[in-house]
Amino acid sequence: MVESKLTRFLLRLGALVTLTFIYAPLALIALYAFNKNVTQAWPIEQFSTKWFSVAYHDDAVREALKNSILAALGATAVALVLGTLASLAVARYHFFGREVITFAVILPIALPGIVTGLALQATILDVLGPMGVRFGLMTIVIGHATFCIVVIYNNVIARLRRTAGNLDEASADLGADTWQTFRYVLLPQLRTAMLAGGLLAFALSFDEVIVTIFTAGAQQTLPIWIFAALARPDDQPIINVVALFVLLASIVPIYFAVRLGGAGGATLTSERPKAEATAASVETAP
């Protein structure tokens, strides 16, 4: 299709307006993190990095950061195990209710966060509470894992549907058991999809607010600290610094996840001969 100069100009203008609409508020927060004054005013009169040092030495911020990292790592680990197992069951086996499982796994990320949070809070109080489970880091991990599983599941099952199932059969014919087939045949093909899903799950968990409010109890993650600090005007400069850090901490894993996801097709085709060769030699594997 031949495009006129006017069409190209309008398309570029539309893309520029869209990106400006999305990223201008984020850029403003990033600039305010370097504002020397406590009060926010535009244009910024003086720039300084002193609030970075203040935020770094704030014990509450450091504790909230530690909780956010631990919760995101825990939720990602749980989601990797459960999401991968669910995707393997749905993609590789035929059984009654298979499509229902897909719907049930994806549903939590489509539900309003407040509904998920209320349901988790009731479960922790009425079901897990009598067993000795109390609100804290573990309940945050459980809450975050419910929607992080979706990211892992979607990534892994998409890769499985593009992977030939006869490789599993070839591995079994050559005497490999289920674990050897997964380790030497499936895992090399799934690892980039699992890593990309894990990075996205980490970013999703790191900045989660609504579900965390209902499952954290007295614990504070970094987003919850920001939410609570908004009521204290004197903390606004520190909030801007912490918001900038959360923004950067979310961008990095998403960037690498997109790079890994974009290379998925090439990775699959390049690893398939390796997987076939591995399947042929897996019989002699320890």
- pLDDT (tens, 9 = 90+) of the chain, 286 residues, equals 556 788 888 899 999 999 999 888 888 888 888 888 877 778 788 888 888 888 888 888 899 999 999 999 999 999 999 998 888 888 877 777 777 888 888 888 888 888 888 888 898 888 888 888 888 889 999 999 998 999 999 888 888 887 766 776 677 667 777 777 777 777 788 888 888 889 889 988 988 888 999 988 888 888 888 888 888 877 788 888 888 888 888 888 888 877 776 654 433 333 444 433 333 333 334 4
Q: Distance between CA 64 and CA 67 in Å, rounded?
A: 5
C-alpha dist (Å) from residue 132 to 24, 32, 63, 122, 126: 47, 44, 24, 15, 11
- As a whole number of Å, the end-to-end CA separation of the chain is 57
pLDDT of residue 90: 85
3-state DSSP call for residue 37? coil
* Residues paired with residue 35 on neighbouring β-strands, in sequence order: 47
pLDDT of residue 95: 77
pLDDT of residue 18: 93
**For residue 177, what are its two tokens?**
């058991």
- Residue 259, H or E segment: helix 236-262
**What is 50-284's CATH topology?**
MetI-like fold (1.10.3720)
pLDDT of residue 286: 41
Give this prediction's pTM.
0.77
Q: Distance between CA 225 and CA 237 in Å, rounded?
A: 14
Task: List CB contacts of 1: < 8 A, sequence separation 6 or more.
Answer: none
pLDDT of residue 13: 92
8 Å CB contact between 241 and 55: yes
pLDDT of residue 108: 82
